[in-house]
Copies of this chain bind each other. A is one copy, B any other.
């Protein structure tokens, strides 16, 4: 089964790369970023799972995934503006900072990139997959490997709790991203935003990662899931976890918009107050520079 999977992978690979060239320039870059991000991110999970903990654990996965975000944002930052997450792109549209017409192409490019990135991880760790599960590709059970690519809920997790988990995680992600890139609130030195985003991903995966792996990114989840469906894991990747697959798509989209609006309503409004700055605000500003 793996051999035919590999053949399929190669074919898909050779289809996607040329397809990328049909996309407008910047969106093609978004594809490359997601490819890079998923190859490195899924690679971290793969290394921890396939080595049975010998070459990785919670800390390498958390730090590795976070630094994959940092690196992807650095590489893409100057060209596509660091769009590696449809939930972020959608929130930018809602906040009026990205044209709505661009959204579908961005999302398509992100999805394709994540798909190819997952294929790259499967290619690089082909022999390790063979050895780990004796040539079978399983979604559940002791030799499950599907969770290397997409997220699945913990056995105890109800759909409603899992949905709330993804809404809240992504809301926090967007709220803080808006804060980091808000030029009026901005205390992060220019050029270090990707590192602080990485630190944010570290704390999110350390604190909210247990329920379902904290996808917070529809492309990061659906792209690799589609890959596994085709590459040999089968349609169980969609039915597993009580048809879990739609949660890490819908919930982050919703949560991202919620987080962005929260930032705008709770924080940005306060900025304008500051700028109209009444006299007695000066004392507060002094206080600010002292702590």
Contact = CB atoms under 8 A, between A and B. Distances in A.
A77 interface: yes
B44 A207 contact: yes
Contacts of A51: 210
B180 A74 contact: yes
Contacts of A187: 74, 77-78, 190-191, 193-194
A121 to B, nearest CB: 8
Interface in A89-138: 92, 97-99, 120, 123-128, 130-131
A67 B284 contact: no
Nearest to A32: B266
Interface stretch (A79-87, A139-147, A224-232, A240-248): A79-87
A115 B51 CA distance: 30
A251 to B, nearest CB: 12
A88 interface: yes
A253 interface: no
B290 A181 contact: yes
B181 A291 contact: yes
A77 B208 contact: no
Interface residues of A, number: 110
Contact of A176 (B75, B155, B192, B283): B75
Contacts of A249: none
Interface in A38-69: 39-44, 46-47, 50-51, 54-64, 67-68
A19 interface: no
B291 A82 contact: yes
Given A58-B55, A158-B127, A179 B67 contact: no
A157 interface: yes
A28 interface: yes
A26 B291 CA distance: 14
Contacts of A156: 127-128, 130-131
Contact of A210 (B55, B74, B204): B55
Contacts of A98: 287, 291
A185 interface: yes
A4 interface: no
B199 A273 contact: no
Contact of A267 (B64, B79, B210): B79
Q: Which 4 A-B pairs have the closest CB atoms?
A: A43-B207, A64-B206, A78-B185, A131-B156
Given A123-B164, A128-B154, A187-B193, 6 more contacts: A26-B284, A64-B202, A74-B188, A79-B271, A92-B290, A128-B211
